[in-house]
Structures are given as C-alpha cells and as structure tokens.
Structure 1
Amino acid sequence: MNKQVLVQGNFDILHPGHIRLLRFAKECGDKLIVAVNSDKSMGSKSRVNEQHRLEMVQSLECVNEAFLSDLTPAETVKSLKPHIVVKGKEFESRHNPEHALVEMYGGKLIFGSGEFESNSEQYITRTISHGHNLDYKKCQSYATRHQFDYQSINTIFSQFSENRVAVIGEIIVDEYIQGTAVGLSQEDPTIVMTPDRADTFLGGAAITAGHIKGLGANQVTLFSVLGKDDKADYVKNHINAYNIDTILFDDGSRPTPLKSRYRAGNKTLLRVNQVRQHKISKEIQTDLYMQLESSIHNFDLLVFSDFNYGLLPQTLVDKVIALCNENNVRVVADSQTSSQVGDIARYKDMMLITPTEKEVRVALNNIDDGLPILAQKLCEKANPTSLVITLAGEGIFIHLPDQNGHWENDMLPAINRNAVDPAGAGDCFLAASSLALCSGATPWQAFYVASIAAACQVDTLGNQPLSFTTLQQRVLESFKNI
C-alpha cells in the first residue's frame, strides 16, 4: 500500500527545523505531500510570496508533491484523507482538530521532534561549494614558465568536440550514506552514527566516460562488465543520462562493484567495498575484444580505467594495446591500487599514465627513492610518453622523458584549498588531460587544464560529470591575474 503523509505549514523561511521535520515525515510513509498555506490563508502573516515559498519546498528531495492551499489543516485532511499527518512536536500539547478527523478513517497523527541533523543543509543541494575553494595563485607561475595563456588553451578547447573515445574498465556504483555522528560506543571504541540519507552515483570507468563526454567529446563508448543484480539494473537505468554509448557484458559470477561510504559532515568514517576480483572468463574476454576490434576505426583515443577487479587480464590488455597501435589509436591508462593490488607498469608505451605515488612504489617495489628517481625508473619500465604522479592534497608531479635519456620535471600544487569530497579526482584528471592531449595540447597545457578539472570535481559531493562550460569558466578565472 502506498502510504501518503501530509504536512501543512507556512514555510515562510525554510530553515533546518523544517527540513528535519519533512525528512522525518517522509520516513513515516511512501509519499510525502506538503500543503503550503497560500497568501490568502495567511493574511498579513505572509512575508514571502506564496510562489517562492512553494518553490523552496518543491526543491527538497524528500518532498514528492507540494501545492498551495487556501484550506485550514483540518479541511485539507478532510479533503485528502492521508494515512498519516505529521506536525511539529510543539503542537503536541495544543488542540489539534485534525486528530479526530484522521482517527475517523483509521489514519494517524504523529508529532515529529525535528531532531538535530548536522547534514540538513544537504537536503537542499548536493553541491556544497561552487568554485569558491579554488586558489590559482600558486599555479600562475606554471603557465608563465611554460609560456601559454588562455587564448592558447581556448584553441585547444575548440578541438575537444573532434575526438571519438573508447573507455574500457570497471563500472562502480558509489553509495554515500550521510549521517550524524552520535558519539563513541560504550561497549568498544567505535563511532556511532545515525544515517540521514543515502545518495548513489555512477563511478569507476562510467564517470571517466561521463567526464569525457561532458567536456565535449564527439562520441564516447564505454566497454564494461556488470553482474546480474539490482546494481546492474541501476547502472543500465542511469547510464543514459551521460549521453554515452555502452557495450556491456553480463557476468553472473561477480556482483556489480559497490562502494559504500559512511560520512558525517564532510568526513568519511568508513568505506565498505562489495567486489570480487577474479578475472573475467575467456569467453567474455573474446566477446569484448571482438566488439572493440569491429569498431576500432571509430576511435581516436582509448582509455584504460582499470580498478583491478578482474576486467582487464594482461592477455586482454596486450591484445587491446596491439590493436590500437595497428590502427593509430592513442592510448592512456590509470590502474588503481588503493584497497586492491594493481600494477601500472603493465601498461606499456602509453601516451599517458597517471598513477598515485603509492601506485608507483607498488609497481617498482620501492619505498626509498624520491619522486624524480621513482618517475624515471617507472618510465624505464613502462615507457610512457608522459607520466603524472598524483599526490592528493599536494598536487601533481610531472615527468616528461625524451629519447636521449633526459627528462623534464615540474609540479603543480593542488588548486582546491578545501576539498568537499576527494573521491574521483584521479578519474577527472585522466579524462581532461587525455582529451586535451588528443586536441593538440602540450603536456604542460594538458596537465594545467586537468588540474583545474580535478579541483572542480572535488568541489562537489559524489561523482557528477564535469561540464565543458564549468571547466572553461574556471580556466578563464585562473588567468585573470597573470
């Protein structure tokens, strides 16, 4: 049965107490209906236009339906006959004419306390910052040093739409459980939290493809494998929003990867990964390769977005690289080693690889050397045209080897001073830098653009494809004081 819940009020100023009450009301049933008292019914009490008040309520994710009402709360209840009516705790000791009405047809009147939730503001919007955390001062000397300006970058931007891109890698479903940290458990030293909401995003290779398309690529095709489960259904139902083509294979031997992050405020308390890491079957490998082989002439760039969950065995990687080389398709790679084991050095002769410092040290089994030596040793082993070592909050280290055994190094500091959510920065950096390189950018230009793109990504909670307009605007801002 679809339980309808009714809340009625003025909502003159939409404050956290309202949001908590409405969230509580939503949890009491299936459909939350909010009656916003009209200007006519409020008389002189109305300080904000009724249309504005209605729009504010409609903007809340927990509200299924909202409308303006000239009726009293009792008259609204009599008209709609909701299963549940929710009012604030302060009304519990007052006369409530709705009480008798709802009892007549078997409904309930519930008083919500509007308990404190530190994340109430997130019911209004997922994006907490809008570029205000970006600090370009430290990177301006980089642009001067490498002799490029906004006009040269804008010329590169104009070529983004000429690129046709294939992305191969694991699709991940990212779940964010936002809550309030209650305190420490009395039984053991464990943080106790109360979940307030859950948001779900597409991650992994899906967001890499989404970024590339969002930044303006002509065509993006994603090759991946999904389990036969509800998360796979979620992916198939939501991937179309990215405007990318997909070639997906079902594999009943593994679940669709799910990463759940439990957060309080802007901090992640715990991450739970539900994955299996065995290799995909030879049959799926063959089918995937044949699909790629039949369409390889449609691509200018191929991106390996490897999370080391078994989608890219070495034999398949080697065949795909050889296929790309035969057809003059440029190739870039990122191979993640966070909670799993990977080896970025297995991707040979790439146009670009973008490992973290940890991923470089794992690939080389080296905990002693500094970044310049690490970079050179990795280049000797993997032979990329360009290497960027990402350093999280410290920015990036750039290493460009040449054919004579020499190299150039440089660094770009992190541009975002206060990351809202650091997850996905590497995927966004890979997407923007590879697209820029294929559009005629020098490595120095490409990594400047990609650093700003990554700074935009971590300015938002969860994975959302970065738009070309946003990136172009932020890059323009970065040159204003040069």
Structure 2
Amino acid sequence: MKRKTVLVIGNFDILHPGHIRLLKFAKECGDYLIVAVNNDSNMLIKSRVSELHRLEMVQSLECVDEAFLTELCSNSLIANYQPYAVVKGKEFEEKENPEYKALKTYGGKLIFGSGEFESNSEQYITRTISHGHNFDYKKCQSYATRHQFDYQSINTVFSQFRENRVAVIGEIIVDEYIQGTAVGLSQEDPTIVMTPDRTDTFLGGAAITAGHIKGLGAKNVKLFSVLGKDDKAEYVKSHIKKYNIETVLLDDSSRPTPLKSRYRAGNKTLLRVNQVRQHKISKEIQTDLYHQLQSNIQNFDLLVFSDFNYGLLPQTLVEKIILLCKKNNVRIVADSQTSSQVGDIARYKDMMLVTPTEKEVRVALNNIDDGLPVLAQKLCEKANPTYLVITLAGEGVFIHLPDQNGQWENDMLPAINSNAVDPAGAGDCFLAASSLALCSGATPWQAFYIASIAAACQVDTLGNQPLSFNTLQQRVLESFKL
C-alpha cells in the first residue's frame, strides 16, 4: 500500500500550541508528516527567530517525521513531493488557496483543520531525557561510607559489565499509554470522561528486562518467551530488534500476547486494563522452550527469570531450568510478580538474588503480621536466596543478607527519585542492574546502590525504555560528587 504523505508549509515564527495542534491533526490525516519551514529569505516579514531555531523547534515534535528549510513556493513543493494531502489551518478555508491547482493535477487533497483545542500541546514535544533533576543522593553517601566503597570501585564494576552473557526468560508484555484530556464527569453517571490525544506503546515484562541488561552493556543477551498469534506479537517481533538482543519467541495460539493499557490524564493514571490469559503453556511448548534453552546454556553466565505469573513458567519447567543452570554453573536471579493473590516468589529456590515487593513476600509466606527483618529471614529460610531485596516503591529498598549460620545483615536505601513520572518498570530495572553488577564482581552493597540509581532513572520517564550505560554511569558519578 502506498504511504499517505501529508505536507504542511509555514513560517513557525513562534511555535505555539495552535501550531502543535495543527501538526498533530495533519499527522492523523496520513502516515508520514513532512513540514516545510520557510527560510528567512522566503518570509515577507522578518522573524526575530532564526531559521535554524525555527526548524529545530518543528523537528522536536514527535508527530513530525521530516522537516526542512525551504525557499520554494507551495506549488513547487507539491510538485516535488506529490503528497496525499496538504493541511492548512481553518483560517485559510475562505481564502484563495493556490495549492488547489497543483494538487488537482494528480488527485491530491487540501484539508483544513486546527486540531483539538482541549489537547495538551506540551505532551507532543520530544524532550531529551535528562535524568536526575529530582534525585536526592544525601542518604546514598552515608550508605556508601558505611559499606566502604567509592566511585572508583564502582567504576571497576562498570568495566566488567561488557563481559556478561545473559539469558532472560519470561512473559513479554506490550504496554500502552493512552494519554488524554480529562473532560469531567459524565452527566448520566459518575464516570470520568476523557478525550484520548495520543497512544504510546512500549515493550515491557521480560523484554524490557533484557533491554535494560543489553543497554547497560552486557556482551550478549538472549530472550526466551512465548507470544500469541496476533497483531501484538507482530509488534513485539518488529520492535524487539531495536534492543539489539537475540530472541527465541515461540507461538501459542491459545494465549494472546499480554497487553496492558493505561489511560492517563496529565501525569495521573485513571485506569489500567489488562488483557491477559493465565493458563499454563502446554507441555509441548514447555518442552520446546526448555530444549531451546538447553542448547544455548553453555553460552550464558547469568539467567534471569522475569515471571509475571501468566502461565509461561510452570513449576516443573522452573525446576528443570534451575537444575540445568546449576549443572552448567550459570548464576540465576528471579522476580516473580504477584497479581492479586496469584504468585509465589518462594518457588524460586537457591537464587543468587530475588527482588520481591513487600506484598509479594507476604503473599508467599501468608504473613501479614511480621516486620520486614523477620519477614525477610523467613523467606530466606523457605527459598534460600544468596541475597534478598524487598522493594518498597516510594520508600526505597530493604536489603537482607543471610549467612549460613542463621545470622543476617540488613540495610536500607531510600528512594532516590522523589518525584517519579511513572513508577512502572522500576523493579525490572532494579533487577537488571543489580544482577548485572553482581555478575561483574560487585559486592551486594555496591550492586544495590547501582540498581537503586538505575531504578530512579527508570521512573524519571513515561513508559519502559532501556536504560543506557552512559546515563547510569553519569548519575552514579553525580551521587559521589555532592
């Protein structure tokens, strides 16, 4: 099918919300939006804003696929690009429009529109991610002091990240963020009414865990998962390539690819809709998945269980994989998320690291009474991890290090980011960074310091995006400079 190119031409002297709404409307009229920005010599009234700055502002908009400076008239541009449509503001509808003649030669359209006035225009600007504005490192410094490490020792750990070969196994989730404007309450019933403005889609679950590990510099990362036979599976297969990881993706027509849709207004989530099916994968697919992993096991130093309890990791398969890793000296870490009352982190035994939430620990132990230190030790007695970190959302993390004599050492790191944009994915990022650090020679205290800063970076952006090594390194360096 031929791509529907849409062309918009203008000065964009001062980029205001009306411009942004018009360009968003133009993008919705086709598949590919081109914006021709008149250069200084092509403007009747001299602008106070340079042509390069005007171009940069247009290029910063997410809805714009291509933008350039031009000295050509509109008809020449139409002749060159032959767009499906030219879009102009509503104010031009009753005026003479020379574009009609050029468009008529091949059947192009002239569309007038100004976009929805209620939409929040700022959300369409692509911002350079600048982590760290809300970070509070003060308590990190006392933590580093009492555990006797500095930036130089952390940097030594960083230098080993690229030596690791990692397998990740678990559910891949497609995360949708439907951003809109809250209109108010319905007149018919007490329901919040919102007008959707845009939808952003991200890869979540095991995919983002693998993406973080690769983004942080691991040598090789291979993702093992099962997808449905649906359009979301195709989305996963096409977008996972950007993460530069290898994949083994099996098909299961009985289970849709998990989809989580979050409806947001401003910076608040109004509703989350989960489209998942939680029955176990068939024994045939379990066998196929195990054999795929078995044939690759000697290529890994670390295996990560990223379990969302949607049936991809039945207990018999988990036990076989653990035994396989032990036989091949592959270290193992696990995160097993609990949805409602489903999930049991304690079934992941003899892990190097587990990182449950407080709720997940209490569900696994059926214990609502004990405090964190006792709770942590009881989980260690049941599951025998080398290290345990209980994540506490906005309160930070509780660290529990048991030993072979029934003793333990505890500590806590508070949340470093005081103003999370989106808390989703913090646990995945913490697990990825801490396990990679432990495999790179970090002490547990160093690993969880690194991971806490990594998680703070993750919640500083909307949606799951792989954290880069350079960003993490820069934030860790900043934490020692205060």
TM-score (norm 1): 0.94
For 1:12-27, what aligned pairs fall within 5 Å after superposition? 12-27=13-28
Structure 1 residue 135 corresponds to structure 2 residue 136:
yes
Residue 282 of structure 1 deviates from its aligned partner by 0.7
SS at match of 2:232: helix
Matched, 1:56 2:73: no
Change over 3 Å in CA distance of 1:213–1:80 after alignment to 2? closer
- Structure 2 partner of 1:298: 299
d(CA) in 1 for partners of 2:276, 2:115: 39
Report if the CA contact (8 A) 2:173-2:203 is conserved.
yes
Amino acid at match of 2:361: V
Give me the whole-angstrom Cα distance separating, in 2, the residues matched to 1:285 and 1:466.
Answer: 31
1:199-224: per-residue Cα shift (whole Å, max 9, x none)?
11111101111111111111111111
Q: Which residue of 1 aligns with 2:97?
A: 97
- AA partner of residue 240 (structure 1): K
Corresponding residue for residue 117 of structure 2: 115
CA drift at 1:184: 1.1
C-alpha displacement at 1:272, in angstroms? 1.0
Q: Matches of 2:3 and 2:441 in 1, distance apart?
A: 56
Write the distance in 2 (CA, Å) between the matches of 1:129 and 1:191: 33
The equivalent residue for 1:237 is 238
Instruction: State the AA in 1 paired with 2:135.
Output: L
Trace 1:179-190 onto structure 2 (pairs within 5 A): 179-190=180-191
Rate the CA distance shift 1:397–1:29 in 2: closer, same or farther, 3 A. same
State the shift of 1:2 in Å: 5.1
Structure 1 contact 86–112 (Cα < 8 Å) conserved:
no
Farther-moved stretch of structure 1 (206-215 vs 80-89) = 80-89
Structure 1 residues 96 and 128: alpha-carbon distance in aligned structure 2, compared to 1, 3 A threshold: farther
Matched AA of 2:279: H
In the alignment, is the contact (CA less than 8 A) between 2:36 and 2:67 conserved in 1? Answer: yes
Letter in 1 for 2:399: I
Q: Which residue of 2 aligns with 1:351?
A: 352
Alignment CA distance shift 1:285-1:126 (3 Å): farther
**Kindly tell me: are residues 88 and 147 of structure 1, through their superposed partners in 2, closer, same or farther at Cα, counting changes over 3 Å?**
same
Q: Distance in 1 between matches of 2:435 and 2:83?
A: 55
> Could you say which residue in structure 1 is the equivalent of 2:329?
328
Measure how far apart 1:16 and its partner are.
2.5
Moved more, 191-200 or 65-74: 65-74
Secondary structure of the corresponding residue to residue 277 of structure 1? coil
Root-mean-square deviation (CA), in Å? 2.1
After superposition, where does 1:301-312 map in structure 2 within 5 Å? 301-312=302-313
Deviation at 1:28, TM superposition (A): 2.8
Q: What SS does the corresponding residue of 2:43 show, helix, strand or coil?
A: helix
1:22 and 1:63 in contact (8 A); partners too:
yes
Query: Is the contact between residue 421 and residue 459 of structure 1 (CA under 8 Å) also seen in structure 2?
Result: yes
List aligned pairs for 1:370-449, cutoff 5 A.
Answer: 370-449=371-450
CA contact under 8 A between 2:75 and 2:102: conserved in structure 1?
A: no
User: Aligned equivalents of 1:57 and 1:163: distance in 2?
Assistant: 41
Check conservation: 1:229, 1:256, Cα contact below 8 A.
yes
CA 1:125/1:81 → structure 2, altered by over 3 Å: closer, same or farther? closer
Residues 472 and 4 of structure 1, relative CA distance in 2, 3 Å threshold: closer
Q: Provide the secondary structure at the position in 1 that maps to 2:57.
A: helix
Question: Is residue 129–residue 460 contact of structure 1 (8 Å, CA) maintained in 2?
Answer: no
State the alpha-carbon separation in 2 of the partners of residues 161 and 85 from structure 1: 49
Output the CA distance in 1 between the equivalents of 2:454 and 2:117: 38
Given that 2:34 and 2:64 are in contact with CA atoms closer than 8 Å, whether structure 1 keeps it comes out as: yes
Q: Does 295-304 or 82-91 show the bigger shift? A: 82-91
Tell me how far apart the structure 2 counterparts of residues 66 and 161 of structure 1 sit (CA, whole Å): 37
User: Alignment partner of 2:48: what SS?
Assistant: coil
The verdict on how the C-alpha distance between 1:113 and 1:271 changes in structure 2, with shifts beyond 3 A counting, is closer
User: 2:401 and 2:348 mapped to 1: Cα distance?
Assistant: 17
User: Which shifted more, 347-356 or 126-135?
Assistant: 126-135
Contact 1:308 1:340 in 2 (8 A): no
Deviation of 1:177 after TM superposition, in Å, equals: 1.1
C-alpha spacing 1:83/1:321, structure 2 compared with 1 (3 Å): closer
SS of residue in 2 equivalent to 1:232:
helix
CA pair 315-113 structure 1, distance change in 2 beyond 3 A: closer
SS across alignment from 2:295: helix
CA contact (8 A) 1:88 1:112 kept: yes
Superposed displacement of residue 104, structure 1: 6.0
Q: Which digits, 9 at most, give the CA deviation of each residue in 1:149-197, with x for residues without a partner? A: 1111111111111111111101111111111111111112211111111
In structure 1, what is the Cα distance between the partners aligned to 2:290 and 2:221? 17
- Return the offset for 1:308: 0.5
Q: Distance in 1 between matches of 2:318 and 2:27?
A: 48
Contact kept, 8 Å, 2:25 with 2:113, in 1: the verdict is no
* Cα pair 1:89 1:113 within 8 Å, conserved: no
Q: Give the superposition deviation at 1:232.
A: 1.0
Structure 1 residue 43, shift from structure 2 partner: 4.8
Q: Which residue of 2 aligns with 1:207?
A: 208
Distance 1:440 1:4 in 2: 52
AA of the residue aligned to 2:118: F
The residue identity in structure 1 corresponding to 2:362 is R
Which amino acid in 1 is paired with 2:96? N
Which deviations, in whole Å up to 9, do the C-alpha atoms of 1:292-328 show, x marking residues without a partner?
1222111111110000011100000011111111111
Q: What secondary structure, in the 3-state scheme, does the structure 1 residue paired with 2:113 have?
A: strand
1:270 matched to which residue of 2? 271
After superposition, the Cα gap between the structure-2 partners of 1:410 and 1:177, relative to the gap in structure 1 and judged at 3 Å, is: same
Q: CA deviation at 1:238?
A: 1.3
Say if 1:102 and 1:108, in contact at 8 Å, map to a contact too: no
SS at match of 2:296: helix
Q: Mean alpha-carbon deviation: is it higher for 18-27 or for 334-343?
A: 334-343
**Mapped partners of 2:84, 2:425: distance in 1:** 42
TM-score w.r.t. the length of structure 2 is 0.94
Distance 2:296 2:304 in 1: 15
- Report the Cα offset of residue 266 of structure 1: 1.4
Task: Give the secondary structure class of the aligned counterpart of 1:29.
Answer: coil
Residue in 2 aligned with 1:70? 71
CA shift digits 1:15-50 (9 cap, x unpaired): 322111110122233443322112111155222332
State the Cα distance separating 1:128 from its structure 2 match: 6.0
What letter matches 1:160 in structure 2? F
Per-residue CA shift, 1:234-272, capped at 9, x if unaligned?
111111211111111111111111111111111111111
State the 1:59 CA deviation: 3.4
